[in-house]
C-alpha cells in the first residue's frame, strides 16, 4: 500500500512538472491583431524623443534624497530620466558629495550625456538639495 501511494505521488509530480507554460493569448473576439512579441518583449531603456532631439532646450529640476538609498522621489523618476536620456549635457549644482552621488547614479543608469558638477555649499541653506540643469543642442547638418 505504501509503495502504491509513493508511485501515484510520483506520477502526479511528473505530470505537473512536465508541461511548459501556455503561451499568452489575446481575446479570440478581438478586432485588433498584436504582434505576440510586443506582449512578451521587455525593454529596459528610455526612448529618445524626436521633438527634443530636433530642438534646442534647457530644463532644471530640484531634487533631494528621499532616504539613504533613494535619490529621486517616485513621482519624479520618469521625468528626470526622460530629460537625462534626451539631454547632451547635465550640470549638477549642490553640495559636492551629494552632487557626486547623483552623477554616479545617472552614469550607473546609462545616461550618456556629459555630466558636470558645480559644487556649492548649499542651495537655499540646504545641503541635501541639488539643482540639475539639462541641456540639449540640436544637431546641425
pLDDT of residue 36: 62
On whether both 132 and 66 belong to a single domain, the answer is yes
The residue ranges of DSSP E strands in 5-129, in sequence order, are 57-63, 89-94, 114-119
Whole domain around residue 97: which residue ranges?
50-136
pLDDT of residue 69: 87
On whether both 86 and 29 belong to a single domain, the answer is no
On whether both 10 and 29 belong to a single domain, the answer is yes
Rounded mean pLDDT, 28-39: 61
Specify if 45 maps to a domain: no
Q: What is the pLDDT of residues 78-109, one digit of tens each?
A: 999 999 999 999 999 999 999 999 999 999 99
111 burial level (CB within 10 Å; 0-12, 13-18, 19+): buried
On whether both 28 and 57 belong to a single domain, the answer is no
- Which CATH number does the domain housing residue 69 bear? 3.30.1330
Q: What is the pLDDT of residues 57-76, one digit of tens each?
A: 999 999 999 998 899 999 99
d(CA 60, CA 76): 12
d(CA 54, CA 139): 7
Q: Is the pLDDT of residue 44 over 80?
A: no
- The count of residues in the chain is 141
State the pLDDT confidence band at 130, using cuts at 50, 70 and 90: very high
DSSP of 50-62, one letter per residue?
HHHHTS-EEEEEE
Specify if 59 maps to a domain: yes
- The residues pairing with 94 across neighbouring beta strands, listed in sequence order, are 119, 130
On whether both 57 and 34 belong to a single domain, the answer is no
- Count how many domains the chain has: 2
Specify if 141 maps to a domain: no
Amino acid at each position: 500500500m505504501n509503495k502504491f501511494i509513493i508511485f501515484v505521488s510520483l506520477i502526479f509530480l511528473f505530470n505537473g512538472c512536465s508541461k511548459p507554460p501556455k503561451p499568452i493569448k489575446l481575446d479570440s473576439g478581438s478586432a485588433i491583431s498584436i504582434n505576440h512579441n510586443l506582449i512578451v518583449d521587455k525593454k529596459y531603456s528610455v526612448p529618445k524623443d524626436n521633438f527634443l532631439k530636433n530642438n534646442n532646450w534647457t530644463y532644471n529640476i530640484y531634487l533631494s534624497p528621499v532616504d539613504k538609498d533613494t535619490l529621486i522621489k517616485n513621482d519624479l523618476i520618469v521625468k528626470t530620466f526622460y530629460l537625462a536620456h534626451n539631454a547632451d549635457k547635465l550640470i549638477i549644482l549642490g553640495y559636492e558629495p551629494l552632487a557626486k552621488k547623483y552623477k554616479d547614479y545617472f552614469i550607473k543608469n546609462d545616461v550618456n550625456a556629459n555630466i558636470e558638477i558645480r559644487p556649492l555649499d548649499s542651495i537655499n541653506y540646504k545641503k541635501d538639495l541639488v539643482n540639475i540643469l539639462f541641456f540639449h543642442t540640436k544637431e546641425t547638418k
